[in-house]
Amino acid sequence: MAIEIISGEEAWAKIWPQNEQKFWPSLKEAERLHPIATPTTRATFKIHPEEKIFCIGSCFARELNFALDRIGYNALSIFRDLPRSTNRKHSDANMCNKYNVASIYNELSWALNPNTPYEHDRVLIETNNNRFEDYQLTGASYRDSAASAKEFREAFNSNFAKIKEADVVILTLGLSEVWYDKQQQLYLNTTVSSKAVELYPNRFELHIFDYEQTLSFLNAIYELLETNLKPSFRLLITVSPVPLHATFRPQDVFVANSYSKAVLRAVVEEFITDKDKVNYFPSYEFVALSNSSAVWRGDDFRHIDSTFVDYIMGNVMAQFTQAPSTIDDDNLLLKAKALYHGRFFIEAKSIVSSLLKKQ
């Protein structure tokens, strides 16, 4: 079924002449694509400086959190003062990652729906030496005593409940490979350890979500938000450009990642149709279409360099807010970096020199 039907008259008489980005850039018009892509989006609402923003999703959502904080916006989803533990390997930020639509739905349901309260017995899984793992958070990478695990969970829940105050929710969709706990009939946020699978045989499964299942969860997420947040709340949705770390499917991780992102991106396109309070912003396209030298952090090929995240957010905020933006200078800096690594040294040096003259 078509997600959108446009009449021939409207296509030629209205959309075609008004769409300034309808053509794929040619070599003569490479500025919008090479070496840094600058896709645009259709902004049907604005975000105001005094409004509260809550980011949910994968590790890219955390990067958006920090970018918003750096430019002075009120990011409710930066969780502070969570209990510390000598057994915890991750920072507070990583503990908040939500990698799939099912785990996002779980957290929202516990936080917003009084008929589905959070229960420690459903979530915390005992492994060995009286240690418990929370697979709605980071699973085996945080294994602690029952008391400490519960204390952390309750503090996390209290912070997550701040979403009720949000004017804008930013939702970042990450993965389509989702682990399932058959005993609790609960989808999980992260990979189940081999130790847990060994201790509890026939309890866990890996599900590869399809289009329909993903869309169903996304619609359920939106219903929870629409029912429990302010009537004026707005939703910005994107697909995380961060690829799979690894796959459990019997195929190349490149292929598995391509499927995962394709499903999420296709679902989002249908989901946003006819929703004025929901907009898509193309963080995935920013990264996928740009020169990789400007995109990736120095320590891996998965996580986005903070400068590039700022550039993405600068473009987004320029379209959704009235705030002053530095995206032109950011664009030039990123372009210089990409050109330099691509061995276009003279052009890169010229860009840097022009920026220095502006100081």
pLDDT value at residue 344:
46
Mean pLDDT of 79-98: 78
Q: Which whole-number Å values give the CA distances from 47 to 52, 62, 236, in the listed order?
A: 9, 19, 10
What pLDDT digit, counting tens, does each position of 230-264 carry?
A: 999 999 999 999 999 999 999 999 999 999 999 99
- 14-23, 47-56, 70-79, 338-347: least confidently modelled range: 338-347
- How far is 113 from 161, CA to CA, in rounded Å? 11
Mean pLDDT of 328-341: 51
The 3-state secondary structure of 95-137 reads HCCCCCHHHHHHHHHHHHCCCCCCCHHHHEEECCCCCEEECCC
What pLDDT digit, counting tens, does each position of 102-160 carry?
A: 999 999 999 999 999 999 999 999 987 789 999 999 888 888 999 999 999 999 999 99
pLDDT value at residue 58:
83
- Mean pLDDT for the chain? 87
What pLDDT digit, counting tens, does each position of 57-81 carry?
A: 987 777 778 877 877 889 999 887 7
pLDDT value at residue 203:
98
Mean pLDDT of 27-51: 86
pLDDT value at residue 99:
94
Q: What is the pTM of this model?
A: 0.89
pLDDT value at residue 59:
77
- Sign of the dihedral through C-alpha 64, 247, 100, 199: negative
345 has pLDDT over 50: no
| Confidence grade of residue 335 (pLDDT, cut at 50, 70, 90) | low
What pLDDT digit, counting tens, does each position of 199-209 carry?
A: 999 999 999 99
CB 136 within 8 A of CB 123: yes
Mean pLDDT of 300-307: 85
| Count of Cβ atoms closer than 10 Å to residue 242 Cβ | 24
CB 208 within 8 A of CB 177: yes
Q: Which of 222, 188, 209 is nearest to 108 (CA)?
A: 222
What pLDDT digit, counting tens, does each position of 254-297 carry?
A: 999 999 999 999 999 999 998 999 999 999 999 999 888 778 88
pLDDT value at residue 353:
55
DSSP one-letter code for 244: P
**What percent of the chain stands above pLDDT 70?**
88
86 has pLDDT over 80: no
348 has pLDDT over 60: no
pLDDT value at residue 337:
52
169 has pLDDT over 50: yes
